[in-house]
Structure 1
Amino acid sequence: MLCEADPDWEALRDQVQLTLDEYFQGQEKRARNYSAAFSDLWAKMARTTKGGKWMRPRLVYITYSAFGGGDTRACGEMAAAFEILHAALLVHDDVIDRDFIRRGAATIGAGYRDMASTLGRNLADAEHAGFSASIIAGDLLLTGALRLATSASMGHRHNVTILETMHEAIFAAAAGELDDLLFSLGDTNAQLPEVLKMERLKTAVYSFEMPLRAGALLAGQTLETADALAAVGRDIGTAYQIIDDVLGTFGDAAETGKSIDSDLREGKRTILTTFAAEAEEFTAVVESFRGGRVDADAVRDVLRNLGAEKFAVGLAQSLVSDALDRAQDLALPALLYAELSDICDYVLMRRS
Structure 2
Amino acid sequence: MRENRGILGARTRPGSDTAPRPREPVGLYRDVEAAMVETSRTLRRFLSERRAQALAVAPAYADLWEAVSGQVGGKLVRPRLTVASYLGFGGIDVNAIASVAAAQELLHTAMLVHDDVLDADEVRRGAPNITGTYRARLAGQGVFGAAAEHQLLGAGLLGGDLALSAAFELLASSSANPAVVVEAVRALARTVATTVAGELLDVGGELLSPFEVDPLLVAELKTAMYSFCGPLQVGALLAHAPASASAHLDRFGSSIGVAFQLVDDELGVFGSPAATGKSVLSDLRAGKRTELLRLTYLLTDDDGRAVLARHVGDPDLDDDGADEVRRVMLRSGARDRVRALAAGAARSARQTATQHLPAALADYLSAFVDELGERNH
Using structure 2 for the length normalisation, give the TM-score.
Answer: 0.86
Deviations 1:71-127 (A, max 9, x none): 111211111010111111111111111111111111111111112222323355434
Unaligned runs of 5+ in 2: 5-24
The alignment partner of 1:258 has SS state of: coil
Q: Does 1:20 align with 2:43?
A: yes
Q: Does 1:96 align with 2:112?
A: no
Letter in 2 for 1:163: V
8 Å Cα contact 1:316/1:348 also seen in 2: no
Q: Does 1:305 align with 2:327?
A: no
Q: Does 1:67 align with 2:89?
A: yes
Cα distance, 1:209 vs structure 2: 0.7
8 Å Cα contact 2:114/2:160 also seen in 1: yes
Letter in 2 for 1:230: D
Cα distance, 1:159 vs structure 2: 3.4
The alignment partner of 2:57 has SS state of: coil
Aligned residue pairs: how many? 348
Deviations 1:50-69 (A, max 9, x none): 2x111111111111111111
Q: How far apart, CA to CA, are the structure 1 residues paired with 2:225 and 2:28?
A: 28
Q: How far apart, CA to CA, are the structure 2 residues paired with 1:61 and 1:206?
A: 15
1:172 to 1:219, Cα distance in 2 relative to 1, 3 A: same
Letter in 2 for 1:297: D
The within-5 A match list for 1:212-223 is: 212-223=232-243
Q: How far apart, CA to CA, are the structure 2 residues paired with 1:153 and 1:250?
A: 45
Letter in 2 for 1:283: R
Match of 1:32 among 55, 61, 64: 55
Q: How far apart, CA to CA, are the structure 2 residues paired with 1:257 and 1:212?
A: 27
The alignment partner of 1:64 has SS state of: helix
The within-5 A match list for 1:162-173 is: 162-173=184-195
The alignment partner of 1:212 has SS state of: helix
Cα distance, 1:47 vs structure 2: 1.9
Q: Does 1:178 align with 2:178?
A: no
The within-5 A match list for 1:260-271 is: 260-271=280-291
The within-5 A match list for 1:270-289 is: 270-278=290-298, 279=300, 280-289=302-311
8 Å Cα contact 1:113/1:128 also seen in 2: no
Relative contact order (alpha carbons < 8 A, sep ≥ 6): 1 or 2 greater?
A: 2
1:204 to 1:101, Cα distance in 2 relative to 1, 3 A: same
Q: How far apart, CA to CA, are the structure 2 residues paired with 1:206 and 1:240?
A: 13
Cα distance, 1:313 vs structure 2: 0.9
Moved more, 11-20 or 135-144: 11-20
1:229 to 1:156, Cα distance in 2 relative to 1, 3 A: farther
Q: Percent identity of the aligned residues?
A: 36
Q: Does 1:240 align with 2:240?
A: no
Q: Does 1:137 align with 2:162?
A: no
Cα distance, 1:153 vs structure 2: 6.9
Query: 1:349 is matched with which residue?
Result: 374
Q: How far apart, CA to CA, are the structure 2 residues paired with 1:237 and 1:27?
A: 32
Q: How far apart, CA to CA, are the structure 2 residues paired with 1:101 and 1:71?
A: 38
Cα distance, 1:41 vs structure 2: 1.5
1:333 to 1:154, Cα distance in 2 relative to 1, 3 A: closer
8 Å Cα contact 2:176/2:238 also seen in 1: no
Q: How far apart, CA to CA, are the structure 1 residues paired with 2:174 and 2:258?
A: 27
Deviations 1:164-215 (A, max 9, x none): 2211221121111111111122267425xx2211011120111111111111
Unaligned runs of 5+ in 1: none
Q: Does 1:230 align with 2:250?
A: yes
1:284 to 1:153, Cα distance in 2 relative to 1, 3 A: farther
RMSD: 2.3
Q: How far apart, CA to CA, are the structure 2 residues paired with 1:66 and 1:269?
A: 37
Using structure 1 for the length normalisation, give the TM-score.
Answer: 0.92
Q: How far apart, CA to CA, are the structure 1 residues paired with 2:175 and 2:259?
A: 30
Q: How far apart, CA to CA, are the structure 2 residues paired with 1:118 and 1:4?
A: 52
